[in-house]
Structure 1
């Protein structure tokens, strides 16, 4: 998927005069045909193909991503807002987006249920059609459509997510409310940090078992939720594999090699700490640097887990603990991997105080930044009660699409 959010732009076209009002009764949301979906991808390619140099390579990537274990068999849906006046044999596409069905876990009153969620991404309105409210109309209709979209085992979706690149307000106005969107950054470094625990680098074949353990631990954590719901996107292997399919495609297309190191682990079974990551390249015209994103950081022994958002005071207390040193060793491995691919930085979303302490062991200037515009994690709640009561745990980069 292209980066979620609405592309900003001020393109104008003489076709404006023939465009309908956003509330015209003949404007409506539908599933895109193959032709409409292809036309949308051609339209958004100039802004979203990133480091890929040709339209063809971008279209092949999008086709490949739509046929992963996470997305195949109808789990990914392309949507378009169209205009079709009476008597017209064809419909005009005004804007579009995509959704991916992702299974989620919801804990409440000691019980954990597997539920349906949908992730919204690739929201795109062509420049000539911007400024007329079409994206808002589409998102409004989509929010209601997803409430009952693709139920599983007789259960309708419990929530939907998206990651806004246009700040907090637009989607919040349509009931996708912003949740914590912070990160800590480390520079890419080829030198090895001294005095840290030894790490074992992870490859693709190592991940399914670790993802299974992670999911079992996430279920156990959710089972402790009391009266208000706690939710998580299932941290299973298909969701990780989707990110890795994306990076490997670009590796082959651009560099004639693929990133084989997928993460790192410290310690022995029962008390391990591990993370897995993905390489994200941008094009030269973009402001954002090439970044190694840590998708998920996992602490196997929950006795040492610390789930609260990082604060400088708590991080100062955690510095030098065995857990902070173990995480620092993982971060150092990530820094080295980033450097080996010519990337500028390593990023971890929503760090805990122990993770911040680990980052500060490697870089004394490391600090938590709260994003105000890019990748704002947002959730729309369809369950009982208010979204304000929902605790979104494991709110990390693995859930992005």
Structure 2
């Protein structure tokens, strides 16, 4: 069934022949061709297809780490060996933790849902909703049988309602942001720039910190179940490999700076932020490009306010300096710690704005265990989980 098929020839989304399944390589490429028109941004069609193929080969995606899905009509006659693609998405398998109500912490798997798409000609017929219904049913059945996934996350760009109907509820969606100053003299001497060779050690340390946090009960309600996706090296590198491909295609070079780190001269404790460049406009439209912090870590909670302020200013300056070098007009950090937010707001040079996201990038969670998703405490809900 081609994109030009008449509406009368399309099956109902309630038809028993509508199934969720895995695409063939040809069908998968066709889904990429469909969504390239909306998500290609600064990439050519050829570059976009190459990027999608490349992302299947990086560590997070290997060995079943990524699964492609299509909604199709099992009763339709394949054309040139391909079935109709009524809707499509993909799931990414990520290491995660769950703290149960009895206080025990378990290593689990979580599935990130990404690239949910329906071709324009097929919209308005309930296909995407049917796909999400079947996908949730598949995950819930898998969880009952094998314990995997314990939960699922996705990031909605179409508001709060659609995915919530299928169990993915938006939980905590705030950010601080600031515009990049074209005339700022940026002194970054207080921080060390983070390069590729630093990532493994920082990710390992961060995982220990997350596990330490997960061992604690929720500060307000000790009975809450707590969940966290682990910010391990594979999860971080998924962003950096993707970023490198896009930057190389658009600018002919790859980033080498992945963040900035402050080390206390008095205690040796560290504060660091990891960030990526998101080029939605390419070199020609810098107003659409931004630097997004993937993760912001305060290693020692007892750090003084003065030192934390010094750390935040230095790290933000490093991000702004990279933003200027890579034609980005804005810097953002999702769901910042309260102390980090206060330090950022006190640093008046940045003129930060606090935003509650209502429509875009809504971090949403679907919990498959006992209890309601609304009652789950999502720990370290930050940009590194986006997919």
- TM-score, normalising length: structure 1: 0.87
Paired residue for 1:308?
Answer: none
- 5 Å-filtered alignment, 1:73-88, equals 73-85=63-75
1:17 aligns with 2:2: no
1:350 aligns with 2:350: no
1:386 maps onto 2:372 in alignment: yes
Deviates more, 1:277-286 or 1:143-152: 143-152
Task: Specify which of 20, 26, 30 is matched with residue 35 of structure 1.
Answer: 26
CA distance in 2, matches of 1:129, 1:246: 29
Distance 1:159 1:79 in 2: 18
Report if aligned partners of 1:186, 1:335 keep a CA contact under 8 Å in 2. no
1:254 to partner: Cα distance? 1.7
C-alpha contact 2:227 2:378 (8 A) present in aligned 1: yes
**In structure 1, which of residues 80, 100, 109 is the aligned counterpart of residue 92 of structure 2?**
100
Aligned-pair CA distance for 1:378: 0.3
SS of 2:154 mapped into structure 1: strand
Extract unaligned runs of 5+ from structure 2: none
Q: Distance in 1 between matches of 2:348 and 2:4?
A: 51
For 1:5, the equivalent position in structure 2 comes to none
Match of 1:198 among 181, 190, 197: 190
After superposition, residues 287-302 of structure 1 pair within 5 angstroms as 289-302=288-301
What is the alpha-carbon distance in structure 1 between the residues aligned to residue 169 and residue 205 of structure 2? 30
Mapping of residues 150-169 of structure 1, within 5 Å:
154-169=146-161
Deviation (angstroms), 1:156:
2.2
Distance 1:233 1:86 in 2: 39
Residues 109-168 of structure 1: CA deviation (Å, up to 9, x unaligned): 33221111100010010011001110000001001112244999x532110010000000
Indicate whether 1:186 and 2:178 are aligned. Answer: yes
State the SS of the aligned residue for 1:70.
Answer: helix
Q: 1:364 to 1:333 in 2, by over 3 A?
A: closer
Kindly indicate whether the alpha-carbon contact (under 8 Å) linking 1:103 and 1:233 is maintained by their aligned counterparts in 2.
yes
Residue-by-residue CA offset, 1:308-337 (whole Å, 9 max, x unaligned): xxxxxxxxxx6xx32122112111111111
CA RMSD of the aligned region, Å? 2.4
Q: 1:101 to 1:384 in 2, by over 3 A?
A: same
Helix, strand or coil at the partner of 1:253: helix
* Residue 211 of structure 1 pairs with residue 211 of structure 2: no
How many residues of Structure 1 are paired with residues of Structure 2 in the alignment? Answer: 373
Provide the TM-score with structure 2 as the length reference.
0.90
Q: Which runs of 4+ in 1 moved over 6 A?
A: 86-90, 284-288
Against the structure 1 CA distance between its residues 121 and 88, is the aligned structure 2 distance closer, same or farther, given a 3 Å change threshold? Answer: closer
Distance of 1:97 and 1:135 partners within structure 2:
9
